[in-house]
Amino acid sequence: MKQKKLAVVGCALAIATGVSAAWAAPKKEPIQPIAPVKEINLAVAELGKKLFFDPRLSKSGFISCNSCHNLSMGGTDNIKTSIGHKWNQGPINAPTVLNSSLNLAQFWDGRAKDLQEQAGGPIANPGEMAFTHELAVDVLQSIPGYVVEFQQVFGTDKIDINDVTKAIATFEETLVTPNSRFDQWLLGDDSALSSTELAGYQLFKQSGCVACHNGPAVGGTSYQKMGVVAPYKTTSKAEGRFAVTGKDSDRFKFKVPTLRNIELTYPYFHDGEAATLTEAVDVMGRLQLGKTFTDDEKAKIVAFLKSLTGEQPSFMLPILPPSSDATLPPAPF
Amino acid sequence: MKQKKLAVVGCALAIATGVSAAWAAPKKEPIQPIAPVKEINLAVAELGKKLFFDPRLSKSGFISCNSCHNLSMGGTDNIKTSIGHKWNQGPINAPTVLNSSLNLAQFWDGRAKDLQEQAGGPIANPGEMAFTHELAVDVLQSIPGYVVEFQQVFGTDKIDINDVTKAIATFEETLVTPNSRFDQWLLGDDSALSSTELAGYQLFKQSGCVACHNGPAVGGTSYQKMGVVAPYKTTSKAEGRFAVTGKDSDRFKFKVPTLRNIELTYPYFHDGEAATLTEAVDVMGRLQLGKTFTDDEKAKIVAFLKSLTGEQPSFMLPILPPSSDATLPPAPF
């Protein structure tokens, strides 16, 4: 055992030496690397993972958090606007759950202050999971496997919606995507980006994109009006931050989305109307910056954006505890 | 390296010795243990796993094989009859995909001769995934990650629906659930079952359940009429094997479902009308065997049935390759 430990320490030293020899110094840029997860209660996160994948939190027994925030697909559904209970067409594009802990608030309009508050929303939204918090808790309380796990994790016999959303939020906090090629470059590996990607990043900075898309998540830190220089034309009824504050100045202000893993989270914008990254870059340039990018410039920026794809969360598919005879059956039809 | 190998061999010997000392001889019973997977092409199975989880095989981009054969939930959706495209209510209960390679044929009426033939069905069924084989292949062909993987696995640049369904079927062949407590008992561990479970198994045998529920899958080896002694009353329009053969004698004959993992695959019967195992045992006793089980007998049989829950397939959630600008977008609405 002691020998094994020493071997691991030796290995770590070798890696550290390798890094300092081959890499340049970390760079000072308006975008910072994604930090790995720390100080997570693993038991809570494991419970939260089960709940995230459990369609019994919906009235139909068919829709789970993972249905619209699919962790096989960049934490989104890759659909313009999401499908909810009875195939209801949602009003807005599902934002990625990846790195969502880095957002200043949750939902496009920031109406939930954090991930825990967000997690309760879709469960009770009639157009999404169409359940109630009371019924969701009743279902969980009827499942012996969950009763034991909540007891182990939270020390209580009585399952509470706050513990449910806390567990989901804790799992979501683990969904960071470090070690993208762009982060490797930021951390000092000059060979991590191609010259095209680097030129794209320079354009991204010089054109003013970083004014809003900055920080570790390359976004998520402010609300901005969609259509600064020219109005954004859409059939979407979403009014953004105005729905929360009621202030006219907040009309069409949306939370700036993260650009992390943007290659995976198509289609783009709150209405999902930009099908491709090239189209999204074009629209952003014209409407937000008053700048018409050439095809060559767009290609370079898109190349840079694709270097923001990080390591996807990697975990075993959770096996859910079975319902009991006392569990309320799903009511899909 | 050599030392490590020796250590492993030594360990295996120790286990083998332990087994022969503590266990009785393997038992001769009408039910046999589930065998572990062998001779699987792992590269094909890994590709098939991605396809199994990929909702882009549906018109909506929302429904994957895993939607109705959820591997977090015993390979079923735990809904009476499944939800399809635009929330269409399916005509029949989704059978579990677990151990489905052991079935004599696929679907309740056996209309697909094997898993590969089955896999093509839901993709093109207007009430399920509502796509066409041609469009599904076009979508895959537009995704660079899949093009590379099909090239690596099948050695072809041109993706073909037969390779798609072959990969899915190969993945499904890995979904066996060995090492249930009942199998441990079969293999000689007399302590693996409680006296109640054992009494339940004796009742199960003596009452005649094993006439149909036998073999490694505890079913899946024959078609039988639903309602032998007395007619089964249901609003379901499914006519079973008759739909395939057109023979009057095949009316209401359904493939005998596997009882493996039956604790996880509620609700029961082709119409999903039995919500609990106790109810299912009661109905089977009365309609198939002309036998009214007492509450005590039903409890014992249910206890036995729950000992058939095996090790669930355990694997990393697949990460799907992203669509390209050329990919046909989903059309959910």
The complex's ipTM works out to 0.93
- CA atoms of B165 and B184, how far apart (whole Å): 34
Band of residue B22 on the pLDDT scale cut at 50, 70, 90:
low
Closest CA to A303 of A205, A197, A202: A197
Contacts of A71 in chain B (CB under 8 A): 317
Which residues does chain B have within 8 Å of residue A312's beta carbon, measured at their own beta carbons? Answer: 319
* Catalytic residue (choose from A46, A128, A149, A197): A128
Say if the Cβ atoms of A317 and B320 lie within 8 Å.
no
**Percent of chain B beyond pLDDT 90?**
91
CB B147 within 8 A of CB B157: yes
Which residues face B176 on adjacent strands? none
- Per the listing, tokens 């970083």 go with A210
**Does the pLDDT value for residue B85 go beyond 50?**
yes
Phi, psi of A223 (to 5 degrees): -100, 140
| Residue A17 pLDDT | 42
Question: Does the beta-carbon distance from A316 to B317 stay under 8 Å?
Answer: yes
How far is the C-alpha of A47 from the C-alpha of A152, rounded, in Å?
10
Q: What tokens appear for B250 in the block?
A: 């095949």
Nearest-angstrom CA–CA distance, B236 and B270: 9
**pLDDT given for residue B298 in this prediction:** 98
Residues of chain A contacting B86 with CB distance shorter than 8 Å = 87
Both structure tokens of A282: 């074009």
Q: For residue B14, is pLDDT > 60?
A: no
Measure the CA–CA gap between A207 and A110, rounded to whole angstroms. Answer: 27
Question: For residues B132, B136, B139 and B142, what is the CA-based torsion angle, rounded to 10 degrees?
Answer: -120
Rounded to an integer, the average pLDDT of B278-307 is: 98
- Other beta carbons within 10 Å of B68: 25
Residues 157-196 of A with CB under 8 A from B: none
Chain centre distance of CA A289: 25
In chain A, which residue ranges form alpha helices assigned H by DSSP?
A: 2-22, 42-52, 65-68, 115-124, 133-141, 144-154, 161-173, 181-186, 195-206, 242-245, 277-289, 295-306
Whether the pLDDT of residue B12 is over 80: the answer is: no
Q: To the nearest whole angstrom, how far is the Cα of A246 from the nearest Cα of chain B? A: 31
Q: Which of A217, A180, A215 is nearest to A97 (CA)?
A: A217
- Mean of the per-residue pLDDT values for chain B? 93
3-class secondary structure, B253:
strand
B86 with A89: Cβ contact below 8 A: no
pTM for this entry: 0.93
Q: Do A78 and B61 touch (CB under 8 A)?
A: yes
Tell me the per-residue pLDDT of B101-123, one tens digit each, with 9 for 90 and over: 999 999 999 999 999 999 999 99
Determine which of A17-26, B36-45, B177-186 has the lowest per-residue pLDDT on average.
A17-26
Q: Which residues of B touch A314 (CB under 8 A)?
A: 316-317, 319
Q: Which residues contact A242 (CB under 8 A, 6 or more apart)?
A: A109, A248, A250, A251, A252, A253
Judge: B78–A323 Cβ closer than 8 Å, yes or no: yes
Could you say which DSSP state residue B84 is in? Answer: -
Report the greatest alpha carbon distance in chain B: 67
Closest-CA distance of chain B to residue A22, Å: 30
At A206, list the tokens.
């010089």
Taking alpha carbons only, the member of B183, B212, B211 closest to residue B197 is B183
Quote the tokens at residue A172. 């979501």
Distance CA B48, CA B270 (A): 27
DSSP A255-304: EPPP-TTTTTS-SBSTT--B-SHHHHHHHHHHHHH-----HHHHHHHHHH
> Hey, what amino acid is at B48?
G
Q: How many other β-carbons are positioned within 10 Å of the β-carbon of residue A193?
A: 20
- Beta strand extents in chain B (DSSP E only): 223-225, 253-255
Tokens at residue A143, please? 């499942």
d(CA B7, CA B1): 10
B54 and chain A: CB distance < 8 Å anywhere? yes
Residue B25 contacts A where some CB pair is shorter than 8 Å: no
pLDDT in single tens digits along all 333 residues of chain A:
334 333 333 333 334 444 444 568 899 999 999 998 888 999 999 999 999 999 999 999 999 999 999 999 999 999 999 999 999 999 999 999 999 999 999 999 999 999 999 999 999 999 999 999 999 999 999 999 999 999 999 999 999 999 999 999 999 999 999 999 999 999 999 999 999 999 999 999 999 999 999 999 999 999 999 999 999 999 999 999 999 999 999 999 999 999 999 999 999 999 999 999 999 999 999 999 999 999 999 999 999 999 999 999 999 999 999 999 999 999 999
Counting Cβ atoms within 10 Å, is residue A233 exposed (0-12), middle (13-18) or buried (19+)?
A: exposed
Q: Measured between alpha carbons, how far is B208 from A247 in angstroms, rounded to an integer?
A: 73
pLDDT confidence tier of residue B204, bands split at 50, 70 and 90: very high
Contact A325 B278 (CB under 8 A): yes
| Cis preceding linkage at A267, omega within 30 | yes
Token pair belonging to A160: 């509470």
Q: How confident is the model at residue B16 (pLDDT cuts 50, 70, 90)?
A: very low
Q: Is the CB of B127 inside 8 Å of chain A's CB atoms?
A: no
B chain contacts of residue A53, beta-carbon cutoff 8 Å? 72
Positive or negative, the CA dihedral B45, B119, B256, B234 is: positive
Q: Is A120 on the interface with B (CB under 8 A)?
A: no
**What does the alpha-carbon distance between residue B126 and residue A59 come to, in Å, rounded to a whole number?**
24
Assigned token pair, B60:
């909506």
| Cα–Cα distances in angstroms (integers) from residue B288 to residues A72, B229, B283, B291, in the given order | 44, 6, 8, 8
Within 10 angstroms of residue B24's Cβ, the number of other Cβ atoms is 11
Give the Cα separation of B60 and B129 in Å (integer): 7
How does DSSP classify residue A89?
Answer: B
Contacts of A278 in chain B (CB under 8 A): 325
A3 touches chain B (CB under 8 A): no
Closest C-alpha among B176, B163, B175 to residue B137: B163
Most A CBs within 10 Å, among B319, B324, B328, to test the A interface:
B319
Confidence class for position B24, pLDDT limits 50, 70, 90: confident
Residue B274 forms beta bridges with which residues? Answer: B268
pLDDT tens column, B226-275: 999 999 999 999 999 999 999 999 999 999 999 999 999 999 999 999 99
The answer to whether A121 and A255 are in contact (CB under 8 A) is no
Give the Cα separation of A136 and A56 in Å (integer).
7
The phi and psi torsions of B240 (rounded to 5 degrees) equal 70, -145
Q: Which of B183, A204, B279, B147 is nearest to B271 (CA)?
A: B279
Q: Pick the more confident residue, A20 or B333.
A: B333
Considering B128, B149, B197, B273, which one is annotated as catalytic?
B128
From the list B74, B275, B316, the residue facing A316 with the nearest CB is B316
According to the model, what pLDDT value does residue B230 have? 95
Q: How far is CA A268 from CA A68, B266, B298, B317, in A?
A: 15, 39, 55, 25
Rounded to a whole number of angstroms, the distance from the CA of A231 to the nearest CA of chain B is 26
Q: At A151, which amino acid appears? A: Q
B172 is catalytic: no
Q: Is the peptide bond before A321 cis (omega within 30 degrees of 0)?
A: no
Q: Is the dihedral of CA B280, B286, B288, B291 positive or negative?
A: positive
Burial of B234 (0-12, 13-18, 19+ CB in 10 A): middle
Strands (E), A33-177: none
Contact B267 A329 (CB under 8 A): yes
Is B266's Cβ below 8 Å from some Cβ in A? yes
Location of structure tokens 């939800």: B83
A89 touches B at CB < 8 Å: yes
* Whole-number pLDDT of residue A22: 58
